[in-house]
Structure 1
Amino acid sequence: MNKKHKRMALALLIVLGACKSNSQISHEAPARGFHSNRPAQKWEESLVSGNGRMGVMVQGSPYNESIVFNHALLYLPLHKPLKPVSQGKHIDEIRELMLAKKFEEGAQFVVDLANSEGYNGKHATDCFIPGFQLNLVSDSTKVNTYRRSVDFESGEIDVQWQNDQGEFSRKTFVSRADNVVVIRLQAFEGAEINTTLDIKRILTHDDARKGKYQLDDNLGIKRMEISAIDSGITCRAWYNNPWEGSYLGYHGAIKVTHANGKISAQNNQLTIHDATEVVLLARIEPSKTMKEDEVVSIQKSLTQFGSNYEHLLEEHRKLHKSLFNQVRLDLHASAQDRMKSSEELLELGGEHPALIEKLFDAARYNAISATGINPPNLQGIWGATMTPPWSGDYTTNGNLPVAISHFLQANTPELMLPLFDNLENYLEDFRTNAKELYNCRGIHVPSRYSTHGLNNHWDATWPMTFWTIGAAWYSMFYYDYYLYTQDEQFLRTRALPFMEESALFYSDFLKEGTDGKYVFNPSYSPENHPLNYKSQACINATMDVMAVNALLRALISVSQKQGINKEKIALWEDMLSKMPTYQVNAEGELREWVWDDLADNHNHRHASHLLGLFDLHDPLIVNNKELRLASKKVIDRRMEIRRQENGGIMAFGMIQLAFAATALGENETAYDMLTWLGNSYWNNNLVSTHDPKKTFNLDISGGYPSLVMKMLTYAEPGLISLLPCKPDSWHKGSITDLALRGGIIVRELKWEGDQIEAMLVSKIDQTVAIRLKGQAVKELFLKAGEQTPLRL
């Protein structure tokens, strides 16, 4: 938002203070959605809508509206993809440096090697950028009443206001059915729409990141051409630095398909006069040719949908609503509290049932709307800066797993498929990483990527070529998809191939130490370093051991069940027997590095060595009293730092701690963190942030609902645990239609005091052990396809 927009937003806030009471605009929120009492004062507060391919951000200003257009594939080319540094040819030398505890030298060795091979400094991943900004400008006058809202069930944004002329409405959604942005302007009570539309480049940026991304003053866009003809506006943008195979730029088109007034085009603008209804359709698409006929084709395509707004909305609503309504949380907040504005809800505090219910819904809405072509990146599918933090990329060593964490639990497994599609698109790059970085077969998933999968982003401080565990971790999402869905074809054709190729890498990479146990050398526990060493480069990060343990156990289990891989099972069992043992330090805490004197460093935002407690529980921890207690102590120590900093930076790190707390049954600890998350990490558009009230980021829009569901249920094959971590303050509540591992749907779980009822439906015949609040209570047979009631 520019300075002019900010001044107008502030002026609007002043006039809203003198609102009239006779407005016909409803101030009730949608049945499932929210409303806000003021327009955005910065782009991060804009209302969002998306279909997983395109996204829009609506500021909500009555007279100087700004709508930012995004697309899931708009990544600005920064660097030509390079063959990974030839670390593999020198891996023995690097390992010797690491064993000699020359960790900084080991990390610097790789940097020097890369520079000799033409890297010439750190390479940022191609960064996610906005396409353009549509401005709708009208003469301003006093606003009497105002409301902006989002309907979670339809993705419809509605900005309504009243002035002395009458009432106005501006509605926007992004259609899943037709892949088009739809905008309708309406005027009532004798009022008329008189507005000018134009497209502008987005120039918002951060100077420090501009330098880091090596952008010149044109911010990576060579030129942008904007043209208004008849009832449409087109936009064409060329990238400065495309590389072979990348997109060259993008096209955008906006078409007025209905206006019951006068419309004219002049000076690359459209002007509309004396209308009471206007319908606009729009698209934005990346291009690998930038031929002019492409934008003509896009503009022409917008005429095929007609101008019946309600019909277009209904076709979209069917698809979007079926995803959003898969699960529903009810903590028995009062009707009055549920109808409060987003600003009022956030003031209630993170422990309030009405806010928890609303954030549960809002977070799911954000993640659903951002998922389609790809999984959500760091910003989901939105943004209005040319220099997004961390390139707005896929950060696989923590952020992305949290962003996708609730999809399976919420009974929306189809939203996981874009992740698998994305990973499989880059399999050849992952194989190249394994070969060049470690001289290994199999695949190596990098810790950061966006437009290709080659491991090009790292330096001596952040030695991310040493992070080898990506393939194992993401294999477990494939495995979990199978556990939730029982989709045998997916298992055979997608999960097992990925999992087996991951295991192949570790069979080459891992070498036995003097004690017969494998050594993860080199290694990396994301962004942390031992207290007694300066370098993040290390040996035997506990997260590495946990991830490979999980992968091998999964491969053995599913292969035995399927009656396949008999020879490989023997290899995997042998590998499992050689895995390092988890260790506890002198303070009784789970060690982050299981190597020699590497001392734990709790002044850090990640909690990577609790990986085995994030999703499918590691039996080596949960079945061992000492390790359970050691893990709890890690959570307590990491939270000490966060309590000193009002929650602290990097909300997804708190989600990691909270996930682990639910696995250990630490209900009040998990609840404390849920409260922190509700207190500090949301703007009034109910989109999450990375840090308290700043840095637009979608991580915990994935993690917040997952945390709530983990507090209410946990399952693994043969086991269902109900209310394993329910807070004592949730005396009464229910949740419907969430999914469990084992192909089980909980049609309803409700509780009141000590009374618990559940209705379960299984895809297969099976007997499961039932636990209540961590205690075994009974066994239950589930007949495939039949509803099985449970009362405890």
Structure 2
Amino acid sequence: MHPKLRYVHPAPDWNSALPLGNGRLGAMVYGGIHTETLRLNEESVWYGGPQPPRTPFGARHHLEELRKLIRAGQHGDAESLVRQRFLATPKSARHYEPLGTCTIDFEHGPGRSGPGGPQNMVKEYTRDLDLAKAEAVVQYTIDGITVRREAIVTNADNVIAIRITAASEITFNVSLTRMSDVEWEVNEFLDSIEVLDKRIVLHATPGGKNSNSLCLAAGARADSSGSVEVVGRELKVRAKEALVVLAAQTEYRHVNVQEASLADIDAAFKYTTTELWKRHVEDWTKIYGRMSIQLYPDDAHLATDHRLTTHRDPGLASLYFAYARYLLLSCSRPSPKALPATLQGIWNPSFQPPWGSKYTININLQMNYWNANTSNLSECEIPFFDLLERLAVNGQRTATEVWGCRGWCAHHNTDIFADTETQDRWMPATLWPLGGAWLCTHIREHYCFNGDKRFLARMVPVLQGCVRFLLDFLVSDASGQYLVTNPSLSPENTFRHSESGETGVFCEGSTMDMEIVRQVFSDYLFAAAEFQAEAFSTSTIEEVKAAIQRLQPITISPEHGTIQEWGLSDYEETELGHRHVSHLYALHPGSAITPISTPGLAEAARRTLLRRIEHGGGHTGWSRAWLINLWARLRQPEQCGLNIEALLRDSTLPNMLDTHPPFQIDGNFGGAGGILECLVQSHEVIAVEGRPAVRVIRLLPSCPEDWQRGEVKGLKCRGGFELSFKWDAGVICEPVIVQSKLANELVLFFHRVGPDAEDMGTQVSVPARVGEHFVYKDGLSDT
């Protein structure tokens, strides 16, 4: 059964349109009856070119003064100094822009009006997005003529293709433009449109110095009895079957963007339409088809928007997960000069997008890849690491001039050009140089799933530069006992000082900061051990070993029993239901807190979550997604179920994209990661004296009670394992199939769904052999 999004009406707006993408090109397909609209994106269309360093030269000379003000609790003075000496000009990195719009106007049916046209002449309208084939399909009957449109964005041939068929000849017009999504904005943001040899060619240069110029082109092909002619700057097509192909390139990859775009169209037209579709589906399914989750009952026959609003069956959660895998593969695929997914993936309709549709690196870009490895899409994370390498180069100047440190750093936002300077002028977020360090924690995580030493060796210079920055940035706290970050903040949150009553954002050693530093140091020592310290500095290794022993620990509030957010200072939060839960980083995405290894901290984390939720936490889509992951790590299936329900009910648009509001794609990826954490967890290890640590894999550790029956295929686990299993009536069925990729040892825990979920059921411990399948029955292992 193919997972599909289903609708019985055209999309009235962008929030109902359906996304397609091949990693580089993106399209939102509306499915109108008289007018088909495709809102288009290309990943390298950004406003302006690379900017020169923006943070004032010599900011580092004021660092000691800033640290003293923070230690003295003079928060207003500290913020005043930051405004004067540490903030960048211009204040913003570059922002992402739309590519353009393709419109296909059909000359059928009378009295066209509104976004979808009149409904009285239309029968049997359906609109689907087939996730297994990456194809959007619209079909309807009008004036007795059945019309079918199929759209793909093919990676195999690097174009957007629309196949149009009808029971008898129809006429339609194809046009291109580049206009704002704001309805009263009538300007076309382009340089020119012309028709060359029956190809529409649009040129545009996004504003700003040294901008990436772009070319968007369209061509059409009719069947043997049909025709394609030029009318003004449009293509007029008459046919029973026709193919429309769109292509686009920018100067980010090509010197002659028109030549490259037209070459893509010509190459696609060398294939029959059937061949083009076949090549696309084969390319897509060989990656997308590796893994799946299915939950029952599944009312897949119902319209998706109806399921979201009134009928949230368990199958809807597995559709949400399948959709997130679809979105990740559609907006983040490895290729020359590939870019990672932005705040909106590659689907941005606005020339003034929310938060610039940039890469926000104090949670959002990281969350985009939380489910990449577990859902068997590890290669989709490669564009993330490509950007990280460029940040490590640019961030050297930032580390030196702003902080007087070795190595490199990046703040809370970046762009296509890997900008590392301070971003915005918002005090709770701007001056936070650990964004790059958080990105570096993905290096070991990626390696743990596939054991690729070539990848790890490639990232060693990045990791070493980050470590050197952190070693220099850390200072002794007032007592001299601990090492802390200063200045430090807890991203986007604000506190009230208990003594002065003054509000502030800067502290020494926020809990998130210290746990990120601890993890980066641990990851560095792990990488050094993997290579027997080859290519690693012995002195740096010793520095890290000494520093990690002095890092400030996580502290529990004596008043509330919660984890303190601002390190050793038990400040009062000004917003108790804040969307960020940064101080629980060690629970997820980190793994230092677990119910087994640190029960006291796990209980404090549980109380922290309850306090957040009681005061309205989780009110943004991505924040709710983070809560799901946190509850899953605490093995609280009831809370997982409640928060998944809230995500689907309150933070999911009709087209199943996540809403902050407005749309942000990180909630889709984070939510999918949380669904996986409910079903399988592999972040724990058992330390055995004198032997390598053994990976622990838990099956159904936090499965909500109404997910009584389901199936998982091809799920990836840390340690190089791939799992497939079923469960029914809340109990795991035999056999559980595990394939070992790296010959590591593992321990399996079988949990149950329902009131006795804490009963661990069967426990299996076996040495694995690389490349072999193991089938587990009654605690025994058979190959």
When normalised by structure 2's length, the TM-score is 0.89
Q: Does 1:789 align with 2:775?
A: yes
Change (3 A) 1:110 1:477: same
Shift of 1:102: 2.0
Q: How many angstroms apart in 2 are the aligned matches of 1:616 and 1:199?
A: 46
Paired letter, 2:623 = G
SS in 2 for 1:136: strand
Change (3 A) 1:296 1:767: closer
- Whether the 8 Å contact between 1:104 and 1:460 is mirrored in structure 2 is no
- Whether the 8 Å contact between 1:682 and 1:688 is mirrored in structure 2 is yes
Q: Percent identity?
A: 23
SS in 1 for 2:9: coil
- Whether the 8 Å contact between 1:47 and 1:57 is mirrored in structure 2 is yes
Counterpart of 1:471 (choices 411, 436, 447) is: 436
Shift of 1:608: 0.6
SS in 1 for 2:242: strand
> Residues 696-775 of structure 1 correspond to what in structure 2 (within 5 A)?
696-716=663-683, 717=685, 718=694, 719-757=696-734, 758-773=736-751, 775=760
Paired letter, 1:697 = Q
Change (3 A) 1:454 1:296: closer
SS in 2 for 1:44: helix
Paired letter, 1:542 = T
Deviations 1:532-560 (A, max 9, x none): 44232332210001111112222223433
Shift of 1:779: 2.0
Change (3 A) 1:452 1:108: farther
Q: Does 1:599 align with 2:572?
A: yes
Moved more, 586-595 or 751-760: 751-760
Q: How many angstroms apart in 1 are the aligned matches of 2:539 and 2:632?
A: 37
Q: How many angstroms apart in 2 are the aligned matches of 1:172 and 1:226?
A: 24
- Whether the 8 Å contact between 1:367 and 1:698 is mirrored in structure 2 is no
Q: How many angstroms apart in 1 are the aligned matches of 2:702 and 2:80?
A: 45
Corresponding position of 2:397: 432
Q: Does 1:309 align with 2:273?
A: yes
Q: How many angstroms apart in 2 are the aligned matches of 1:656 and 1:722?
A: 20
Change (3 A) 1:349 1:502: farther
Change (3 A) 1:294 1:343: closer
Q: How many angstroms apart in 2 are the aligned matches of 1:498 and 1:329?
A: 35
Q: How many angstroms apart in 1 are the aligned matches of 2:764 and 2:724?
A: 20
- Whether the 8 Å contact between 2:25 and 2:43 is mirrored in structure 1 is yes
> Residues 67-82 of structure 1 correspond to what in structure 2 (within 5 A)?
67-77=38-48, 80-82=51-53
Q: How many angstroms apart in 2 are the aligned matches of 1:100 and 1:138?
A: 70
State the aligned residue count.
Answer: 731
- Whether the 8 Å contact between 2:44 and 2:252 is mirrored in structure 1 is no
Q: Which runs of 5+ in 2 are unaligned?
A: 110-120, 686-693, 752-757, 779-783
Q: How many angstroms apart in 2 are the aligned matches of 1:346 and 1:368?
A: 23
Corresponding position of 2:755: none
- Whether the 8 Å contact between 2:50 and 2:417 is mirrored in structure 1 is no
Paired letter, 1:124 = S
Deviations 1:34-55 (A, max 9, x none): 2211111112321110000001
Moved more, 701-710 or 755-764: 755-764
- Whether the 8 Å contact between 2:95 and 2:415 is mirrored in structure 1 is yes
Change (3 A) 1:727 1:518: same
SS in 1 for 2:625: helix
- Whether the 8 Å contact between 2:681 and 2:698 is mirrored in structure 1 is yes
Deviations 1:213-269 (A, max 9, x none): xxxx969x4x431112442211001233223xx42x211111113344232212211
Change (3 A) 1:523 1:606: same
> Residues 655-734 of structure 1 correspond to what in structure 2 (within 5 A)?
655-691=625-661, 695-716=662-683, 717=685, 718=694, 719-734=696-711
Change (3 A) 1:699 1:374: same
SS in 2 for 1:239: coil
- Whether the 8 Å contact between 2:92 and 2:424 is mirrored in structure 1 is no
Corresponding position of 2:690: none
Shift of 1:686: 2.3
Change (3 A) 1:81 1:621: farther
Q: Which runs of 5+ in 1 are unaligned?
A: 1-29, 211-216
Q: How many angstroms apart in 1 are the aligned matches of 2:469 and 2:700?
A: 39
- Whether the 8 Å contact between 1:363 and 1:700 is mirrored in structure 2 is no
Moved more, 697-706 or 296-305: 296-305
Shift of 1:300: 4.1
Corresponding position of 2:151: 172
Counterpart of 2:542 (choices 545, 553, 570) is: 570
- Whether the 8 Å contact between 1:148 and 1:159 is mirrored in structure 2 is yes
Corresponding position of 2:380: 415
Alignment root-mean-square deviation, CA: 2.4
Q: How many angstroms apart in 1 are the aligned matches of 2:64 and 2:602?
A: 36
Q: How many angstroms apart in 2 are the aligned matches of 1:454 and 1:471?
A: 11
SS in 1 for 2:551: coil
Shift of 1:289: 11
Shift of 1:596: 3.2
SS in 2 for 1:145: strand
Moved more, 159-168 or 462-471: 462-471
Paired letter, 2:303 = S
Q: How many angstroms apart in 1 are the aligned matches of 2:388 and 2:596?
A: 30
Moved more, 477-486 or 465-474: 465-474
Change (3 A) 1:409 1:675: same
> Residues 28-39 of structure 1 correspond to what in structure 2 (within 5 A)?
31-39=2-10
Q: Does 1:364 align with 2:325?
A: yes
Q: How many angstroms apart in 2 are the aligned matches of 1:472 and 1:591?
A: 21
Corresponding position of 1:125: 93
Paired letter, 1:200 = T
> Residues 149-160 of structure 1 correspond to what in structure 2 (within 5 A)?
149-160=128-139
When normalised by structure 1's length, the TM-score is 0.88
Counterpart of 2:467 (choices 503, 507, 526) is: 503
Change (3 A) 1:450 1:299: same
Q: Does 1:462 align with 2:427?
A: yes
Counterpart of 2:512 (choices 499, 521, 543) is: 543
Shift of 1:563: 2.3
Change (3 A) 1:49 1:460: closer
Counterpart of 2:528 (choices 559, 570, 573) is: 559
Q: How many angstroms apart in 2 are the aligned matches of 1:791 and 1:106?
A: 63
Change (3 A) 1:632 1:73: same
- Whether the 8 Å contact between 2:594 and 2:634 is mirrored in structure 1 is no
Corresponding position of 2:35: 64
Counterpart of 1:256 (choices 220, 226, 233) is: 220
Shift of 1:91: 0.8
Q: How many angstroms apart in 1 are the aligned matches of 2:727 and 2:462?
A: 38
Paired letter, 1:363 = A
Deviations 1:355-376 (A, max 9, x none): 1121111122112111122221
Paired letter, 1:232 = R
Corresponding position of 1:138: 106
Deviations 1:668-712 (A, max 9, x none): 112211111111222222222223xxx122112211221111111
Q: How many angstroms apart in 1 are the aligned matches of 2:15 and 2:2?
A: 24
Determine which structure has the larger helix proportion and give its number. 1
Paired letter, 1:176 = N
SS in 2 for 1:613: coil
Q: How many angstroms apart in 2 are the aligned matches of 1:592 and 1:349?
A: 38
SS in 2 for 1:432: helix
Q: How many angstroms apart in 2 are the aligned matches of 1:130 and 1:346?
A: 28
- Whether the 8 Å contact between 1:398 and 1:652 is mirrored in structure 2 is no
Q: How many angstroms apart in 2 are the aligned matches of 1:125 and 1:170?
A: 39
- Whether the 8 Å contact between 1:593 and 1:600 is mirrored in structure 2 is no
Shift of 1:311: 0.8
SS in 2 for 1:638: helix
Corresponding position of 1:48: 19
- Whether the 8 Å contact between 1:256 and 1:280 is mirrored in structure 2 is yes
- Whether the 8 Å contact between 1:432 and 1:454 is mirrored in structure 2 is no
Corresponding position of 1:281: 245
> Residues 610-649 of structure 1 correspond to what in structure 2 (within 5 A)?
610-619=584-593, 623-642=597-616, 648=619
- Whether the 8 Å contact between 2:595 and 2:634 is mirrored in structure 1 is no
Q: How many angstroms apart in 2 are the aligned matches of 1:435 and 1:52?
A: 35
- Whether the 8 Å contact between 1:107 and 1:460 is mirrored in structure 2 is no
Shift of 1:515: 3.1
Corresponding position of 1:203: 180
Deviations 1:105-141 (A, max 9, x none): 22332222257xxx55x62332211111111112352
